[in-house]
Structure 1
């Protein structure tokens, strides 16, 4: 019989901690009233982390008796390290599995503040290794580095975990090491205080009240979430990422600026292509604030339509054995691609706008993975 020693709960919590919104309660209540019709094909538990079930989505075209194998995308959902709902991104996972003919494996982790960094990272590591070794999952194991048909994606705090776990030697040096890491609205820079980050996004008066007001719903709780996850003094430097990096930001999200900075940095250092130098403290608005002041209309992914791309919203660079892709989704808030968050809106046109943009960026990432990263 094994035993586990748990770290004591931290007691030096910021005063903002008690103000965390009860989103998990709202989500659970909503599911009771309106049960979702999307579910994984498999739910597995592994001996390494029996308290963290893994949700597995197989492509709709999958024929169980067939020996056909598929690329795999590991997904770490948002949860702010602190809370989390294990069904939160089932709709996204199901849609990606079906439209991109990919096995999607949703991973969970222990929550802060009871467990701090690096425990959540090692939870993800253990579950990834267990799933990759599980021969009952139809994963394509025929490829070889650096073009393994494996990728990892994280939403929000999950983006931070995706970047961290992909650099661990057990993952980075694995025979099925991820060929790409992707972050959607990721928490990527923990070195800058939240109050400074809040100055790096637009508020648009022409949009509905929840998008145009001068407050960011995530801002007040972010200091507590970071406190619960990362102890003081942790090295936050990126050193050994997968060959390909995909970054997606929401224009009306203060986290988008740090993703833009990373995309520009990777392009400048590896592709030797300069897309500018975003700086959260720049005196020039074009570098201090991501996106544009005006409301966007037209193509749901600005810069990917006809004409000259707007590099604030989209660019893609490649070099020998690697590449970077940047997408900024216009006029959307943090969480726009999550059914539970977007349906808190009361206007059907706003919900549909978020759905269209989610479908558009999902297709864009899927095409990038299949054609550029996995070479299918």
Structure 2
């Protein structure tokens, strides 16, 4: 992104990409994208071979496909043989009885991966755990990938698949109209968080009789109007942490410009709320919004900014004004410089003077929740990335914090949003 020309987001004019980067940058970005795809395909092929020999313990209860997206077709029993993407992976609660007419709330979960590499199978572990612990149907969604399908293609893929699933009466979704709040929600990881907030604004979803009552965004990409170079200054780099987490580099930083180049067409307004949901109108989002950031992820700052803005606009409560260009460190950088200890989710269940780590506000029929997961990198909750870490202690730390924030989100969703 450094070689792209754009107008300043603070100038009052739309931030628009004016011209493509130099040829050398295009070549570099292409190498990054397609090398990433190749390595991911190899890894998944090896994983598929492993699963043929040792079937995984975590499997979806249903795998469904719909004619609305024939290019996302296919049920694959042997993943090593099929290179086609699976559309929906459906996890039912442990308490579900197929012989009973009982129905359940539903959470749609959108894959991450920078719009170009994610595979919804990567979230099977998270989806199964949430389905069982929260007695909720979890539906893993996929989409066509950049650069072949740039913005807004993936947004409309998710839209079509959500509408198809909501209309599919073979899925035991609670469609009752007796409640004041629909028992439907949507969550996305990373680029999937971007898509979750984007698709929630589309009229076909926003005005649907089963419109999501809540949207949850975990480590989402929310503002594409700001360059990666600037975003890298909005997080702390903690030398006191273990080698896998310290240093002056961000694991996502080197590849982010290539991801954006592959997804964002030239001439598009970078402040378009479907592309950069951090600019979305409060009225266009679901009534309840939850934003989760990873402290050692430069994307956390834009989630914090959105949470603070929604709190001011919805509840009239000012939690400060984070600004990526502020002269005050406390507003320019998310989190704190010191390594944390104790509660893995600081600020929950206690009154904390510094609300940069967690807050929750409510207003009539709506609310916003902000949660910063401490001392973790982008992708800490994804086993595919987490297991690349060679430090067993770090892996366990990420697992504990994943379980903690999942439990917190489940409680918020069931008790505050759905009022179960």
Per-residue deviation, 1:234: 2.6
Aligned 8 A contact 1:246 1:324 in 2: yes
Per-residue deviation, 1:143: 3.8
Aligned 8 A contact 1:8 1:114 in 2: no
TM-score (norm 2): 0.80
Per-residue deviation, 1:25: 24
CA–CA distance in structure 2, aligned partners of residues 17 and 86 of structure 1: 30
Per-residue deviation, 1:51: 3.4
State whether structure 2 residue 242 is matched by structure 1 residue 198.
no
Aligned 8 A contact 1:299 1:305 in 2: no
Partner of 2:8: 8
Aligned 8 A contact 2:92 2:136 in 1: yes
Distance 1:248 1:7, change over 3 A: closer
Partner of 1:140: 174
Aligned 8 A contact 2:104 2:136 in 1: yes
Structure 1 residue ranges without an equivalent (≥5)? none
Per-residue deviation, 1:332: 0.3
The CA deviation string for residues 101-148 of structure 1, in whole angstroms up to 9 with x for no partner, is 000001111101111111111100000000000001010001468610
CA–CA distance in structure 1, aligned partners of residues 141 and 51 of structure 2: 21
Per-residue deviation, 1:299: 0.7
TM-score (norm 1): 0.89
Aligned 8 A contact 1:158 1:186 in 2: yes
Distance 1:85 1:34, change over 3 A: farther
| Most deviating of 5-14 and 220-229 | 5-14
Structure 2 residue ranges without an equivalent (≥5)? 27-48, 76-89, 270-281
Aligned 8 A contact 2:4 2:20 in 1: no
CA–CA distance in structure 1, aligned partners of residues 170 and 186 of structure 2: 20
Give the one of 380, 390, 404 matched to 1:360. Answer: 404
CA–CA distance in structure 1, aligned partners of residues 149 and 178 of structure 2: 35
Per-residue deviation, 1:31: 5.8
CA–CA distance in structure 2, aligned partners of residues 225 and 251 of structure 1: 21
CA–CA distance in structure 2, aligned partners of residues 125 and 258 of structure 1: 24
Distance 1:43 1:246, change over 3 A: same
Aligned 8 A contact 1:145 1:179 in 2: no
Distance 1:278 1:30, change over 3 A: farther
Distance 1:374 1:133, change over 3 A: same
Per-residue deviation, 1:342: 1.1
Q: Secondary structure, in 3 states, of the residue corresponding to 2:122?
A: coil
The CA deviation string for residues 75-122 of structure 1, in whole angstroms up to 9 with x for no partner, is 001121011223110000000000000000011111011111111111
Aligned 8 A contact 2:61 2:92 in 1: yes
The CA deviation string for residues 157-201 of structure 1, in whole angstroms up to 9 with x for no partner, is 001101110110000000000001110000011110010000000
Distance 1:17 1:31, change over 3 A: farther
Distance 1:4 1:330, change over 3 A: closer
Aligned 8 A contact 2:186 2:214 in 1: yes
| Most deviating of 76-85 and 289-298 | 76-85
The residue correspondences of 1:227-306 to structure 2 (distance < 5 A) are: 227-235=261-269, 240-306=284-350
CA–CA distance in structure 1, aligned partners of residues 352 and 2 of structure 2: 60
Partner of 1:43: 63
Distance 1:7 1:313, change over 3 A: closer
Per-residue deviation, 1:341: 1.1
Per-residue deviation, 1:232: 2.7
Q: Secondary structure, in 3 states, of the residue corresponding to 1:279?
A: coil
The CA deviation string for residues 202-245 of structure 1, in whole angstroms up to 9 with x for no partner, is 0111101221110011111111111111213334xx76111110
User: RMSD across aligned C-alpha pairs, in angstroms?
Assistant: 7.0
Distance 1:14 1:167, change over 3 A: closer
CA–CA distance in structure 2, aligned partners of residues 188 and 123 of structure 1: 19
CA–CA distance in structure 2, aligned partners of residues 3 and 208 of structure 1: 33
CA–CA distance in structure 1, aligned partners of residues 7 and 324 of structure 2: 35
The residue correspondences of 1:93-112 to structure 2 (distance < 5 A) are: 93-112=127-146
| Most deviating of 74-83 and 302-311 | 302-311
The CA deviation string for residues 258-310 of structure 1, in whole angstroms up to 9 with x for no partner, is 00000000001110000000000001110000000001011110111445364
Distance 1:13 1:243, change over 3 A: closer
Distance 1:95 1:335, change over 3 A: same
